[in-house]
């Protein structure tokens, strides 16, 4: 049975949380990981929907450092508060 | 906060001369904007020290979007507090950069209310660019822009704001409706524009004719350039008038033809259209006498980029002739196949042109399901990346062997 957007989003959030501060994950990294984990149960459209869900809910944010990444919201070290 | 315009002897040099100067414009803005005053200060400092004082990138953006805002902080916030945050906002420009005066006033009012007041019309991507925004003003700017009917453009590893020339709106050479295609692609790729999901940036640029006024062949990952496939339309009487008025047709028109397909006998101009390379030179020189053919469409090219990570690339021909007709599904299907392959196999920060160089054009074409064509090769036998394997027989290799 195909996974739901919420299930994929949760799995992605766990990946991002584990990687925070260690490795920056690109959206493609997350999608590839979900495809490996769930196979046909997680197609590309579903994975993109999960990323949209994570960002729209504020659980994750897009960041840019040479390329675009998905990370947990955090205080930016370069920011001048 | 800077209260007065700083002394800027080095920047002042840039105001001298007859050309427009960004320094003059920033000074004008500095009369009302502390951000502009501090910008002048930090620029003068950078000219003296020969180093930049900006920290680029990071987390800044508007809720839900991954593109459209380029984070920039000063590394000297105490000395220049007005520009401690100086983010850039890219706004999706209308196709062909057509505005009403009212739309421009609205944009300026929004920017005077929330930001530095400095703009760049337009950035190299084509967007309207707002320069210098504090982090806490990003959402209010976005809200006001949305109310005015504007959306953010692309930045980061996504589809960048599609851009085009003025096309049939103002140009008689346009071979297809660049404005319609640009608008359609912009709407179709909304998700890809706002939610970066690629190895690196991807740019569409549409040119109405081979003059390529938006230089799409040099700076767009996908260049869609208008062309024709029948004969150049010719009016011999007008050709004669050009000659009578002193134009040296043999030297300045036929002599400069890269296809060497023209001949002028002093009375009649002849064109061997099968050798025409659609460079537009003759049409540009004699616009009253020559016009593009009637069977018009576009050539789709792929893979150019500026020399950022590796050297510069020009686009390669992907589809020699395509009839752009709404809803352009054939093109979108092809683009989706390419995006899937590039996302799957591309490395981080690898443009699609570099990806093609790495895997080989032959392999790339095979993966996206396009047949190799002679037009995809720059010069015969110079670039042997296409192999016609189906023409080899199994015993071909044995011929002539002992």
- Mark yes or no for CB contact B158/A74 under 8 Å: no
Token couple for B106: 């609205």
Q: What is the DSSP letter of A56?
A: H
Alpha carbon distance A42, A9 (integer Å):
11
Q: What is the pLDDT of residue B402?
A: 37
Q: What is the pLDDT of residue B276?
A: 94
Per-residue pLDDT reduced to its tens digit, B195-227: 999 999 999 999 999 999 999 999 999 999 999
Alpha carbon distance B397, B107 (integer Å):
69
Give how far B192 is from chain A: nearest CA, Å.
10
Q: What is the DSSP string of B223-290?
A: EEEEEESSPPEE-HHHHHHHHHTT--IIIIIITT-TT--EEE-SS-EEE-GGG-----HHHHH-TTTE
CA angle in degrees (0–180, nearest 5) for B194-B198-B202: 75
- As a whole number, mean pLDDT of residues B306-317 equals 86
CA B231 to chain centre: 29
- Mark yes or no for CB contact A55/B197 under 8 Å: no
Instruction: Give the global pTM.
Output: 0.91
Alpha carbon distance B298, B323 (integer Å):
6
The H or E element spanning position B359 is: helix B352-359
Token couple for B342: 């590039």
Alpha carbon distance B116, A27 (integer Å):
33
* Cα–Cα distances in angstroms (integers) from residue B254 to residues A59, B259, B262, B276, B284, in the given order: 65, 9, 5, 11, 13
- β-strands B222-228, B128-133 pairing: unpaired
Residue B264 bridge partners (DSSP): B269
- As a whole number, mean pLDDT of residues B131-153 equals 97
Q: What is the pLDDT of residue B234?
A: 96
- β-strands B290-291, B233-234 pairing: antiparallel
Average confidence score pLDDT of chain B: 92
The rounded percent of chain B whose pLDDT value lies above 90 is: 84
Nearest CB among A28, A66, A73 relative to B197 is that of: A28
Interface with chain A: mutation pick from B53, B55, B59, highest number of A CBs within 10 Å: B59
Q: What is the ipTM of this complex?
A: 0.92
- As a whole number, mean pLDDT of residues B6-34 equals 93
The rounded percent of chain B whose pLDDT value lies above 70 is: 94
The rounded percent of chain A whose pLDDT value lies above 90 is: 75
Q: What is the pLDDT of residue B385?
A: 57
- As a whole number, mean pLDDT of residues B323-339 equals 97
Per-residue pLDDT reduced to its tens digit, B111-138: 999 999 999 998 778 999 999 999 999 9
Q: What is the pLDDT of residue B123?
A: 78
Nearest CB among B63, B156, B195 relative to A52 is that of: B195
Return phi, psi of residue B398, to 5°.
-85, -15
Q: Does B66 touch chain A (CB under 8 A)?
A: yes
Per-residue pLDDT reduced to its tens digit, B278-311: 999 999 999 999 999 999 999 999 999 988 777 8
Residue B299 bridge partners (DSSP): B225
Alpha carbon distance A10, A51 (integer Å):
10
Token couple for B142: 């976005």
Q: Alpha helix locations (H) across B256-328?
A: 281-285
Q: Peptide bond before A8: cis, by omega within 30 degrees of 0?
A: no
């Amino acid at each position: 049975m195909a996974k739901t957007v919420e299930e994929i989003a949760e799995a992605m959030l766990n990946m991002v949380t584990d990687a925070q501060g260690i490795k920056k994950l690109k959206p493609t990294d997350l999608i590839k990981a979900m495809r490996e984990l769930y196979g046909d149960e997680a197609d590309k459209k579903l994975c993109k929907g999960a990323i949209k869900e994570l960002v729209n809910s504020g659980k994750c944010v897009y960041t840019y450092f040479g390329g675009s990444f998905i990370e947990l919201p955090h205080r930016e070290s370069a920011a001048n508060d | 906060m800077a209260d007065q315009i700083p002394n800027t002897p080095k920047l002042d040099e840039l105001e001298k001369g007859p050309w427009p100067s960004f320094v003059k414009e920033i000074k004008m803005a500095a009369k009302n904007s502390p951000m502009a005053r501090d910008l002048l200060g930090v620029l003068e400092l950078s000219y003296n020290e020969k180093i930049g004082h900006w920290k680029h990138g990071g987390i800044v953006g508007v809720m839900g979007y991954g593109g459209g805002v380029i984070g920039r902080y000063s590394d000297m916030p105490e000395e220049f507090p007005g520009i401690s945050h100086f983010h850039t906002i890219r706004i999706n420009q209308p196709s062909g950069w057509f505005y009403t005066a009212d739309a421009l006033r609205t944009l300026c009012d929004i920017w005077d209310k929330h930001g530095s007041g400095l703009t760049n019309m337009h950035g190299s991507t084509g967007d309207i660019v707002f320069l210098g925004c504090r982090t806490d003003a990003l959402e209010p700017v976005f809200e006001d822009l949305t109310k005015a009917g504007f959306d953010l453009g692309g930045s980061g590893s996504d589809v960048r704001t599609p851009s085009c020339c003025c096309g049939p709106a103002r140009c008689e050479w346009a071979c297809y409706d660049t404005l319609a295609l640009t608008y359609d692609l912009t709407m179709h790729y909304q998700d890809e524009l706002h939610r970066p999901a690629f190895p690196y940036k991807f740019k569409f640029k549409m040119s109405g004719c081979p003059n390529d006024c938006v230089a799409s062949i040099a700076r767009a990952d996908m260049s869609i350039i208008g062309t024709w496939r029948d004969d150049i339309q010719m009016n011999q009487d007008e050709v004669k008038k050009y000659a009578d008025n002193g134009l040296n047709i043999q030297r300045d028109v036929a002599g400069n033809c890269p296809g060497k397909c023209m001949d002028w006998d002093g009375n009649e101009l002849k064109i061997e259209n099968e050798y025409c390379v659609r460079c537009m030179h003759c049409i540009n020189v004699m616009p009253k006498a020559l016009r593009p053919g009637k069977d018009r469409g576009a050539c789709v090219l792929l893979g150019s980029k500026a020399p950022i990570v590796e050297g510069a690339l020009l686009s390669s021909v992907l589809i020699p002739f395509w009839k752009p007709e709404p809803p352009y599904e054939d093109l979108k299907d092809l683009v989706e196949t390419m995006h899937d392959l590039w996302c799957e196999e591309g490395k981080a920060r690898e443009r699609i042109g570099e990806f093609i160089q790495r895997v080989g054009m032959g392999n790339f074409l095979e993966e996206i399901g396009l047949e190799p064509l002679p037009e995809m090769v720059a010069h015969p036998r110079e670039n042997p990346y296409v192999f016609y394997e189906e023409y080899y027989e199994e015993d071909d290799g044995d011929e002539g062997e002992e």
